[in-house]
A and B are shown apart, each in its own frame.
Chain A
Amino acid sequence: MSGLAQTNHTEKKDFLVRSSSLKDVRTFCREVFEKLHIEQNLKEELVLAIAEAAQNIVKHAYKDNPDTEDKMVVQISCNENKLQIGFYDMGTPVDPTKVKHREIDNVKPGGLGTFFIQEIMDAVEFKDGNKPWINHLVLTKKL
């Protein structure tokens, strides 16, 4: 990480809520982290966590509406050595008490994404979504 990652920097982009957008989400994140000079290993971990959170929006918040034309917004902010990634969507409201990774002894596939997010990030917080947004997730990582 260079000094640039310590400066204030915010970028955001919207994406159609569908699985084919996940590649574009990753590309956006890589471009922003490149500008922030975040080192390769951490960059790829952060890209994974962000892509998993975006995937959760597609998979869960829009489970009953897979052909939606709605967009989700991903916002990356770096401020005083703290990276914050915000996600905004207009899907089904998320009940934060029901968002958990699966038990370790449960070897069924699926549900790993939340585990990866929690492993990689320092904090995962659901905030009230201000109109028009329904869900607002914030992931935080100290750099």
Chain B
Amino acid sequence: MTYKVEEIENKRIVHLNGEIDMDVADKARSTILPLIEAGHEVIINLSKVLYMDSSGISVLIESKKLSEKKNTKFELVDISKPVEKVLAMARKFL
């Protein structure tokens, strides 16, 4: 997994790329959570994520919960088809 963070005023757009599984979930978590913790509006661009498992979904759930606690905006955009499918299965937990 690789990523790029784009900064636009208080927005941080995180472009994730590749496959997100248990092996890289901590890397994703340590990229996203500090941005939310710092009070930024965080947007996750998932257009180039080819695979995501339950570990990746867990990172998104944690991020959403933290943003609710910090009262900041957290959004997923340009969701790729493979991720949309997994999200649809996990929807009842989101």
Contact = CB atoms under 8 A, between A and B. Distances in A.
B89 A119 contact: yes
Interface residues of B, number: 22
A83 B58 CA distance: 29
A107 B93 contact: yes
Contacts, number: 68
Interface of B: 19, 21-23, 51, 53-55, 57-59, 61-62, 65, 82, 85-86, 89-90, 92-94
30 contacts: A19-B21, A20-B23, A22-B21, A22-B23, A22-B53, A23-B19, A44-B82, A44-B85, A45-B85, A47-B51, A48-B51, A51-B21, A51-B53, A52-B53, A55-B54, A58-B22, A104-B93, A106-B93, A107-B61, A107-B65, A107-B93, A108-B61, A109-B57, A109-B58, A109-B62, A109-B65, A110-B58, A113-B54, A115-B90, A116-B54
